[in-house]
């Protein structure tokens, strides 16, 4: 006789009935601040749920690359992930990535944790994701390359720059005159080593943890973009939790992300110092910063005209940043 199950079952391979399995995977190595924060999340959630939620962590892309992980979470085949493909959950996450939007990290944190930020998180439900919290994915994104120091926008012309499949980065590279090349994160080191690409952009933590400095020459502190770090959870899995475990899960996720932000941003200074030792560093002057800002204005205009978000929403975010 076939058993008929009415509604979702709490059992997901490897745990006993009455408990809920939460499998979480990401592309970063297990030494990365993201993974360290997830170890904390696992310890805290299993304790707070009194063992009713069992957490398994998979680092280094062992379950797939970031596009595959996002698809797995959306389909319910994986319960959680964090990564760079946030626009797949809600295109409004791209607002945070407008080039030169934020003057400093604290501004970004204010906006991402504001009422405006919560509306963006809630919008991810339409695509099958529950986002209990969004953090800041490291510090500002910087440039490295093997061709020349980057001091002004014209220095970007013709450079083959590795990018993730994030529209705002690709458009920013094009606006600066570079030639963006989409390469999977885990394949970037070899692409740099074999000159498939000339350079790449990432926060200092990613550049250091992936040891891109071994195959790059120049490091430019350009502070051109901040990325959000949404905690993507399968909405179907979350909806199947009883109300008490939903509350425990959400509060624990928020505590873990706050810890992640603190650890990540504190370590960013150490990573930055390492890169200035390993590579030939330079910083963008105030005058050239203005030139970069002017160069990327079409990127801002594109998203407003395409309806991703409105100028009023940008102004709302900036108002939150200045509080």
Contacts of 23 (CB under 8 A, 6+ apart): 12, 55, 56, 58, 78, 79, 80
pTM check: above 0.85: yes
**Coil, strand or helix: which one is 214?**
helix
Residues in the chain, overall count? 323
7 pLDDT exceeds 70? no
What does the DSSP assignment read for 233-300? EEHHHHHTS-HHHHHHHHHHHHHHHHHHHHHHHHHHHHHHHHHHHHSEEEE--HHHHHHHHHHTHHHH
Residue-wise pLDDT for 12-34, tens only, equals 444 455 899 999 999 999 999 89
- Asked if the domains at 20-111+130-136+229-268 and 141-227+269-321 fall in one CATH topology, the answer is yes
Can you give the pLDDT at residue 60? 96
Q: Where do the domains of the chain lie?
A: 20-111+130-136+229-268, 141-227+269-321
What is 141-227+269-321's CATH number, 3.40.50.2000, 3.40.1030.10, 3.40.190.170, 2.40.50.100?
Answer: 3.40.190.170
Closest CA to 87 of 169, 208, 184, 4: 169
Can you give the pLDDT at residue 203? 94
Please state, in angstroms and rounded to a whole number, the distance separating the CA atoms of residues 168 and 96: 10
Please state, in angstroms and rounded to a whole number, the distance separating the CA atoms of residues 202 and 241: 36
Please state, in angstroms and rounded to a whole number, the distance separating the CA atoms of residues 157 and 167: 19
Residue-wise pLDDT for 182-193, tens only, equals 999 999 999 999
* Neighbour count for residue 142 (Cβ, 10 Å): 24
Q: Are 322 and 109 in contact (CB under 8 A)?
A: no
The tokens for 60 are 């280094």
Residue-wise pLDDT for 241-298, tens only, equals 999 999 999 999 999 999 999 988 888 889 999 999 999 999 999 999 999 999 999 9
71 pLDDT exceeds 80? yes
Share of the chain above pLDDT 90, in %: 89
Topology given in CATH for the domain delimited by 20-111+130-136+229-268: D-Maltodextrin-Binding Protein; domain 2 (3.40.190)
Please state, in angstroms and rounded to a whole number, the distance separating the CA atoms of residues 136 and 34: 11
* Mean pLDDT computed over every residue of the chain: 93
């Amino acid at each position: 006789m076939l058993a008929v199950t009415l509604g979702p079952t709490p059992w997901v391979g490897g745990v006993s009935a009455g408990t809920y399995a939460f499998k979480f995977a990401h592309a970063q190595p297990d030494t990365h601040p993201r993974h360290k924060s997830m170890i904390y999340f696992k310890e805290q959630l299993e304790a707070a749920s009194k063992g009713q939620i069992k957490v398994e962590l998979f680092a280094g892309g062992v379950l797939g690359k970031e596009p595959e992980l996002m698809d797995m979470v959306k389909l319910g085949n994986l319960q959680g992930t964090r990564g760079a493909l946030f626009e797949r959950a809600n295109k409004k996450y791209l607002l945070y990535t407008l080039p030169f939007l934020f003057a400093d990290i604290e501004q970004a944190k204010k906006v991402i944790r504001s009422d405006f930020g919560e509306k963006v998180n809630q919008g991810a439900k339409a695509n099958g994701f529950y986002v209990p919290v969004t953090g800041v994915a490291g510090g500002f994104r910087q440039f490295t390359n093997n061709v020349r120091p980057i001091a002004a926008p014209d220095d970007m012309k013709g450079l083959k720059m590795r990018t993730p499949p994030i529209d705002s980065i690709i458009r920013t590279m094009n606006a600066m005159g570079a030639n963006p090349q989409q390469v999977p994160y885990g394949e970037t080191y070899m692409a740099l080593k074999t000159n498939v690409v000339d350079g790449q952009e990432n926060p200092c933590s990613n550049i250091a943890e992936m040891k891109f400095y071994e195959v790059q020459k120049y490091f430019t502190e350009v502070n051109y973009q901040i990325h959000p770090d949404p905690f993507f959870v399968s909405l179907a899995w979350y909806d199947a939790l009883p109300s008490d475990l939903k509350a425990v899960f959400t509060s624990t996720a928020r505590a873990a992300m706050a810890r992640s932000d603190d650890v990540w941003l504190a370590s960013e200074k150490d990573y930055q110092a390492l890169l200035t030792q390993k590579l030939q560093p330079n910083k963008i002057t105030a005058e050239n910063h203005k030139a970069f800002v002017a160069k990327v204005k079409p990127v801002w205009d594109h998203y407003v005209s395409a309806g991703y978000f409105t100028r009023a929403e940008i102004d709302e975010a900036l108002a939150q940043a200045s509080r």
